[in-house]
Amino acid sequence: MDIKPSCAGAANGSSQPGQQVPQGQVLDADATVAGAQMLQGEVTLPQPGSAPMAEPAALPPTLMERCGLPLWSSRLVTLTAAIVALLILIAILVAAAVLPESGLSTQLDARIQPPSAQHIFGTDTLGRDMFTRTIKGLAVSMRVGMLASIGATLIAIALGVLSALNKKLDMVIGVLIDLTMALPHLVLVIMISFALGGGTKGVIIAVCVSHWPGLARLVRAEVRQVLSADYVQVSRLLGRSGWQVVVKHVLPHVLPQALVGAVLLFPHAILHESALTFLGFGLEPHLPATGVLLSESMRYITAGWWWLGVLPGVCLLLMVLTFEQVALGLRLMLDPRRAQE
């Protein structure tokens, strides 16, 4: 004869030894909770014949993963490459400070010399050492790009937080973002730089004003996601003001993303600064900027003096790729989805 379990045993999802549980009896606490959620409409069962629920989107595989190497090896290689790239950028700044200014002086007896042991990158039409001019030009581009990217990041964080906290400001900032992103970056940068009279100050402001919308849109989405979290709602119910929520919860979540975005803005700022200078709307001609070197080389490159433009251009490209590698390593360290790899 079967013995029915007691109420306590049924509530605990277990039965006494030797007892049989009637058919349909809930056996564990998880099933009890699931049944209660189904009765309350919190869980929706898939309908017969409907498509299965989609799995969460996975991160794209890296190059090391596609080659069959383990995840820790991929992470190690990426972080090592980022550290090496950062050391290269530091070496450029140190070399620009250490190289003597005599390489920038005119030496008419050493005009138009090809690359050699004495002059690694050759000399220009005035006998100036192209290696010294290139390294110092890269350092100038890095300083301009750093100031422009920092300014654009601060603008993006401020407007992104304000747009998520105030609905009226959100509409205004959204329209401003769309209008700014509708114009081509180079055209907008040229217009702003020309209106400000060019020069270093004009280039920094132009690049700063034209590069914030993309990052501001990202910050705006991140802030909205944080504000919709349960712990933020509890913090508001406990009496915290809007700015306290921003300082305690929003900024610690947004700043790592903004830091990666700022590093990613470096290559864009450097390329636009070089493009502006190349077109004549950027830095002063007497500065050893990369755009100035490329602009001067266009007059003589058809004469066979290839080192005047090729070598500075290749160095500029390598520096941009180096910044992107640093940003990739920084993103890998700050991305919680890859933190356990």
The predicted-structure confidence for 111-168, as pLDDT tens digits, reads as follows 888 888 888 888 888 888 888 889 988 998 888 888 888 888 899 888 888 877 778 8
**Residue listed under structure tokens 């991140």:** 222
Number of domains making up the chain: 1
Q: What angle do CA 281, 283, 288 make, to 5 degrees?
A: 135
CATH code at position 85:
1.10.3720.10
Q: Would you say the pTM of this structure is higher than 0.85?
A: no
Does residue 214 lie within any of the structural domains? yes
pLDDT tens per residue, range 101-114: 877 888 878 788 88
**Residue listed under structure tokens 């501001």:** 216
Q: Determine the pLDDT at residue 228.
A: 81
Does residue 65 lie within any of the structural domains? no
Separation of alpha carbons 66 and 287, rounded Å: 45
23 band by pLDDT with thresholds 50, 70 and 90? very low
Does residue 329 lie within any of the structural domains? yes
Q: What is the mean pLDDT of the chain?
A: 75
Closest CA relative to residue 149, chosen from 262, 260, 258: 262
Share of the chain above pLDDT 70, in %: 76
Does residue 123 lie within any of the structural domains? no
| Domain span including residue 95 | 72-101+128-336
Does residue 12 lie within any of the structural domains? no
Q: Determine the pLDDT at residue 5.
A: 44
Length of the chain: 341
Q: Determine the pLDDT at residue 118.
A: 84
Considering Cα of 300, then 289, then 81, then 65, what sign does the dihedral take? negative
Does residue 296 lie within any of the structural domains? yes
Helix (H/G/I), strand (E/B), else coil: 129: strand
Separation of alpha carbons 161 and 254, rounded Å: 9
Given a cut of 60, is residue 3 above it in pLDDT? no
Closest CA relative to residue 169, chosen from 130, 216, 132: 216
Does residue 50 lie within any of the structural domains? no
Given a cut of 80, is residue 326 above it in pLDDT? yes
Higher per-residue confidence, 188 vs 6 = 188
Q: Determine the pLDDT at residue 240.
A: 76
